[in-house]
Structure 1
């Protein structure tokens, strides 16, 4: 079964999925939604679980550089609880510090234009989150 990587923001959800062997993460898309409309993000996440035969969700947990958690981390924990209220699945919270910066640097290295980077940054951050988790399994 596959793993799903998520990078949750206030208006977007970066989405990545693993291959069947759980070796590589690849971006699927970035879901855009109204400010803090997490119900829409939840419904879409649940549909992806069925569509891609997901057994584990890896949700990025934003921490401050000193390891403390802020408001966005609380939002992610609440989103995790919402997932678990709706479906019986393993949900892992994964430290996502610097993933957006890493994703941006990767896309700059690939010479992607600013507009394309802006559209893809959340999905690429989800790839980095998921790949970090997959690598930890080996």
Structure 2
């Protein structure tokens, strides 16, 4: 069963897909969104779900360090609800605290330039969210 991981931000959605056995996550795309124009990338996510025959989606939930839910986490919860309603497949929220910082650190250690980091950080964060979910559930 393939699972999709999403890192939902205010400007982009990082997308990762698991292998068929659910062991590893690979980043596949970054979808631009525009909250002001109410364009959230749902159609592109649905296309990717259909293309990759995804059976479950994991959306990162950016909780605060004290385990509370802030505005960004509320947005992620809403995104997950709408996505589940539109696709009809289960959407799971997964604690993603510090994944973006971990992705940034990984890219810095790999000596990736600032410009290139901006292009891939959300995709790498999606990979980290999905891999964390896969590791915890296998």
What's the TM-score, normalizing by structure 2?
Answer: 0.94
Change in Cα spacing, 1:30 to 1:37, as seen in structure 2 (3 Å) is farther
**2:6 aligned with 1:15, yes or no?**
no
- Give, in angstroms, the shift of residue 39 of structure 1: 4.1
Partner-residue secondary structure (3-state), 1:124: helix
Unaligned runs of 5+ in 1: none
Partner-residue secondary structure (3-state), 1:120: helix
> Is the CA contact (8 Å cut-off) linking 2:33 and 2:39 kept in structure 1?
no
> Is the CA contact (8 Å cut-off) linking 1:27 and 1:126 kept in structure 2?
yes
Partner-residue secondary structure (3-state), 2:80: helix
The alignment yields a C-alpha RMSD, in angstroms, of: 1.3
Mapped to 2, the partners of 1:90 and 1:38 lie a distance apart of 23
Partner-residue secondary structure (3-state), 1:76: helix
- Count of residues in Structure 1 that have an aligned counterpart in Structure 2: 138
Mapped to 1, the partners of 2:100 and 2:36 lie a distance apart of 19
- Of the structure 1 ranges 41-50 and 121-130, higher mean CA displacement relative to structure 2 is found in 41-50
> Is the CA contact (8 Å cut-off) linking 1:38 and 1:79 kept in structure 2?
no
What's the TM-score, normalizing by structure 1?
Answer: 0.94
Mapped to 1, the partners of 2:36 and 2:54 lie a distance apart of 25
Unaligned runs of 5+ in 2: none
